[in-house]
Amino acid sequence: MLGIHRISIIAALITLAGSPWFPPLGHPLTVSAPFSLPGGHYAAGHRGIDLPASAGDAVRAPAAGTVSFVGTVVDRPVITLRIDDRTLVSFEPLTTTLREGDEVSRGEIIGTVGSGGHCQASCLHLGARVDGAYVNPLRFLRPKPVMLPSLER
CA dihedral over 132, 133, 138, 140, signed as positive or negative: negative
Strand partners for 72: 77
Q: What is the number of structural domains in the chain?
A: 1
pLDDT digit string (tens) for 35-70? Answer: 888 777 667 777 889 999 999 999 999 999 999 999
Please report, for the domain that includes residue 16, its CATH number.
2.70.70.10
pLDDT digit string (tens) for 73-103? Answer: 999 999 999 999 999 999 999 999 999 999 9
DSSP character for 20?
Answer: P
The pTM assigned to this predicted structure is 0.79
Q: Let me know if residue 150 belongs to a domain.
A: no
Q: Let me know if residue 147 belongs to a domain.
A: no
Q: Let me know if residue 48 belongs to a domain.
A: yes
Predicted local distance difference test score (pLDDT) of residue 2: 43
Nearest in space to 93 (alpha carbons), one of 63, 54, 46, 64: 54
Rg of the Cα atoms in the chain: 18
Residue-number span of the structural domain to which 44 is assigned: 2-141
CA dihedral over 106, 107, 111, 116, signed as positive or negative: positive
